[in-house]
Amino acid sequence: MSNNQITILRSGFSLFLFVILVGCAAGIHSPSVKTNVPSERLAKNTYGSPDGGYTVALPPLIKPGARIEERQISPETHGVFFMDDFGKVYCILRNDNTNIKITIEEASDNFHGGDILREKQYTTTERGKELRILGINKNGSPVVTRSKENGEWVERKNDLYEAWSLFANGDHLYQVAAGVTALQKESENILFDRAKRNLEEFLKSLIIKPTNQK
């Protein structure tokens, strides 16, 4: 699925708008995972950020067809994305909030979008106050469906059902997400429940180093 675009943050959500081009990774970590991340930062089934600021366990992806992509989205924002050909997507965006100083409440105002937003609420965890979001990323899945319409074959990217966590840690603002794709007829509730479970498991393995620790 080279050159398919995955819009991880929908266009109506202007905080960290980012489009990643699948298939432009520059390196292979293993024969079944395509990635541009150096192998030393993918040791022991764990991903480590470039500056060592955080680590996270590699999420369960179907292989072959699994991809791990890093992108420096802007001078302030770094992203890592995990995905497979069965439509599972995980991502972490970390924004240097030193100068911008966006609060969680201000960030919440950027998440809107009519019928694509399903839920937005605050919760408190060991990471502190978090904004949790459920939404549909229209045509945002890495899975492409091919069907015949009016005698012609048409390809369309499937929708991605996403669960998000947004929280602050020191001078950084984190967005952590998990998305799933409907591969058969399933209700929105089932898909969002699956995305939420995937997000919780992903967050459990996220370890952020204290800011005073090198």
CATH number of the domain encompassing residue 97: 3.40.1000.10
Q: Which two tokens stand for residue 66?
A: 């699994």
**Do the Cβ atoms of 113 and 136 come closer than 8 Å?**
no
Q: Is the pLDDT of residue 116 over 60?
A: yes
39 assigned to some structural domain? yes
Give the residue, 38 or 154, on which the prediction is more confident. Answer: 38
Q: Does residue 90 lie in a domain region?
A: yes
Give the pLDDT score at 20.
28
* CA–CA separation, 86 and 69 (whole Å): 16
In a domain, residue 128? The reply is: yes
| Nearest-5° Cα angle at 175, 174 to 179 | 155
CA of 156: how far to CAs of 79, 148, 150, 161, in Å?
A: 25, 11, 15, 16
Q: How many domains does the chain contain in total?
A: 1
Mean local confidence (pLDDT), 99-107: 89
214 found inside a domain: no
On whether the CB atoms of residues 6 and 83 are closer than 8 A, the answer is yes
Residue 213, domain member (yes or no): no
C-alpha to C-alpha distance for 66 and 82, rounded to whole angstroms: 7
The amino acid present at 3, given as its one-letter code, is N
Q: Is residue 45 part of a domain?
A: yes
The bridge status of strand 33-35 relative to strand 66-72 is parallel
Q: 143 in a domain, yes or no?
A: yes
* pTM of full prediction above 0.75: yes
- Residue 58: domain span: 5-208
pLDDT digits (tens, 9 = 90+) for 126-157: 999 999 999 999 888 988 888 877 888 888 88
DSSP strand pairing (54-57 vs 46-48) = antiparallel
**Among candidate residues 159, 169, 97, the one with its CA nearest the CA of residue 134:** 159
pLDDT of residue 154: 84
Q: How far apart are CA 119 and CA 97, in angstroms?
A: 25
pLDDT computed for residue 184 by the predictor: 87
Sign of CA dihedral 82, 85, 89, 94: positive
Any domain includes 86:
yes
Q: How far apart are CA 156 and CA 49, in angstroms?
A: 33
Q: Compute CA distances 80 → 59, 70, 99, 122, whole Å.
A: 12, 4, 22, 24
Name residue 75's amino acid.
P
Report d(CA 211, CA 36) in Å as an integer: 26
Q: Return the structure tokens found at 119.
A: 């839920």
Q: Amino acid letter at 200?
A: E
